[in-house]
Amino acid sequence: MNYDELIPVIRRLALEAGDKIMEIYGQDDFDVKSKSDDSPVTAADEAADALISAGLRAAFPDVMLVTEEQAATHTTTGDTFLIVDPLDGTKEFVHRRGDFTVNIALVEGGVPTRGVVYAPAKGRMFFTQADGQSVEETGAFDKDQVGDVTPMRVADSDNAALLVVASKSHRDQATDDYINKYNVKDMKSAGSSLKFCLVATGEADLYPRVGRTMEWDTAAGHAVLSGAGGHVVRFDDHTPLVYGKEGYANPFFIAYAPAVDLKPA
């Protein structure tokens, strides 16, 4: 994959999808349907998926594409592919809380190597550059011209005073029990893949996820965090989280800055 070709495409598609999502988000009402797993889906999910899928297939026709909204049609797996969650945090979207993102990533050899996370309601854009360094872009978000960027770097964490981020919609007792093993200075809640990005910018040190996720939920955030010097490991044995698994389901995991002294599950 030519990263110099990839990054402008996925950045532009994320911005275009964000515009479509915000157009629907601004409506007085929109339909919410339930998928087979009882998770919600809206016209925004479907419109963003169609836009991104068409753009990626046109630009990279020879690369396998995996998207959440077309998951039922994905009958083959591999360790190199493009993976998309067109609207991560649909519950946040439905409840108009703003913590939703557009996620596009490239997985190579089972590892998310490049990605973009765009939070249109928050006005925050995070992506890996062609060289692998993660940056946050500020400015007008022109579709064809990258604005000012700030290199992202994880915090030099203080294990006596950690900043922890956890899911806004999926917080449970198991998560709290694990967090309580640490010396926590402050806790914050966030939706969608923004949690990875908060660790990547140094706004948090640790994000444990003791609950169900799919690879499209995590790949772009994982790539952004890796490009900022962070890690994502399995919750049970602290081995790296890998992609291209059968059914694309993730085990529980921990995203963190390397200075954090991880506790056993």
Read off the CATH number of the domain in which 71 is found. 3.30.540.10
| 146 and 167 fall within a common domain | no
| Structural domain span for residue 213 | 162-256
Question: Of 151, 174, 195, which one is at a domain's C-terminal end?
Answer: 151
Per-residue pLDDT of the chain (265 residues; tens, 9 = 90+): 999 999 999 999 999 999 999 998 888 777 766 655 556 667 888 999 999 999 999 999 999 999 987 776 666 667 899 999 999 987 788 778 888 999 999 999 999 999 999 999 999 999 999 999 999 999 899 999 999 999 999 999 999 999 999 986 667 889 999 999 999 999 998 988 999 999 999 999 999 999 999 999 999 999 999 999 999 999 999 999 999 998 899 999 999 999 999 999 8
97 located within any domain = yes
Both structure tokens of 185:
């200075």
CATH number, position 237: 3.40.190.80
| 124 and 37 fall within a common domain | yes
Report pTM.
Answer: 0.94
Amino acid in position 56: L
Residue 50, classified by CB atoms within 10 Å of its CB into exposed (0-12), middle (13-18) or buried (19+), is: middle
- Give the integer Cα–Cα distance in Å for 254 and 22: 31
